[in-house]
Structure 1
């Protein structure tokens, strides 16, 4: 990092690694490393502790000088279930995929997941074996969720580890109450309006900066409203109320349901309801 006009190597306690990954928008910590892991040079280390900062020529245990992050979230979905709203929880960072294994507050964690995926409320949580075992490694997490968070990324993280198994004491799968189609509100027909998606028991709007024609095409098709004509932004059909979804849908355009599109998180949400996304469909299939 830059310190007093010069680039120095950082030496930090393990508790700071998560901050480094998230500050760089690189996802979450996979591993932390000693000074030699990525090579060494003559630059001094900036020692960053919980209460002090100083420089030194070495960086030794219990401090670390390198970190491997997951990369930003590319996808979050439920797999091996009967539909998109039940199954094993799998998260993808670039080319890395992990099945989540939650060690604490399983019902609260699942409640947030169901809302985040637009799948209603949680019905039950299950062990890894319930949805079948495969070679996907488990990301053992200690997310402490209250149940009111918009996404699991907003839950406080207390522990993490990569493992090949998920103990029967922990939960790796979830069954949600079910998927609700998106809706178009405020328009002059059921086939035009402000885009709203189900988030738990409420409806959330989408940010126009994170919404494109392919996602709109899927919505028009799913609502049996023909083809997409336009996607006016700037709350064209009036401002919504309540939640603004902090995720983006990445669609190919031929999906039958919006739920089948890949979702990515936007950690720094700057949208307001003045930026609500809208769709105008042709109204003819």
Structure 2
């Protein structure tokens, strides 16, 4: 009888890093090498064998790994010298981008993607987004840097303290001011700017 999908969190105390495990059919997958829950180097183990780096894998399987890790959808895949590094997210994305770590910020709320107003977003918020996407620290935060808003603009101000792992874990409040113009949509560049 086939085992049900397995989801475990294993803290690697000695290195300060973590690994997330999931079973997809006869294969188990985990993300390693970062402190972000939904990004890292992809490793695979087949039916109890040793963990090994993944170099080549079908994109549909990668998308399924993100879902099984409870990390939403696949945002980017990068080839490193060691293996594939993947980033998953179900709450934020960077659109109209020049690299995987820069673009116009959009946030998913109630199953809709929305842009964020520059007035409702600060450097602490940007730190959380860059961390969530596995993109290092923020380097540029500016309205309309990557074009005007195409999605509706979210009427929510984020109140991150900077330590949260995902943006939607941050506190927030509803914007009290008038509507935000499309040219004030947040554009963000993080320090990890490798192309996707």
Q: What is the TM-score of this pair, normalised by structure 1?
A: 0.36
As a proportion of its length, which structure holds more strand? Answer: 2
- Structure 1 residue 257 corresponds to structure 2 residue 169: no
1:4-48 per-position Cα deviation (integer Å, ceiling 9, x unaligned)? xxxxxxxxxxxxxxxxxxxxxxxxxxxxxxxxxxxxxxxxxxxxx
Q: Is the 8 A contact 2:91 2:109 kept in 1?
A: no
| Residue of structure 2 equivalent to 1:225 | 135
Higher relative contact order (CA 8 A, sep 6+): 2
Unaligned segments of structure 1, at least 5 residues: 1-177
1: distance between equivalents of 2:93 and 2:178? 22
Aligned to 1:181: 91
Find out whether 1:279 has 2:191 as its counterpart.
Answer: no
Shift in Å, 1:273:
1.0
2:105 to 195, 202, 206: 195
Larger Rg: 1
Equivalent position of 1:211 in the other structure: 121
Cα drift, residue 241 of structure 1: 1.6
Aligned counterparts of 1:228 and 1:242: Cα–Cα separation in 2: 23
Distance 1:210 1:252 in 2: 14
| C-alpha displacement of 1:181 | 2.6
Q: Which residue of 2 aligns with 1:246?
A: 155
| Contact 1:213–1:230 (CA under 8 A) maintained in structure 2 | no
Alpha carbons 1:181, 1:222 under 8 Å: kept: no
Shift of 1:278: 1.2
**Count, aligned residues:** 107
**Following TM superposition, by how much is the alpha carbon of 1:270 offset from its aligned partner in structure 2, in angstroms?**
2.6
TM-score (norm 2): 0.51
Aligned-partner Cα distance in 2 for 1:217–1:193 = 15
For residues 244 and 181 of structure 1, the distance between their equivalents in structure 2, rounded to whole angstroms, comes to 15
Q: Is the CA contact (8 Å cut-off) linking 2:95 and 2:104 kept in structure 1?
A: yes
Consecutive unaligned residues in structure 2, runs of 5 or more: 1-71, 73-88
Deviation >4 Å, runs of 4+: none
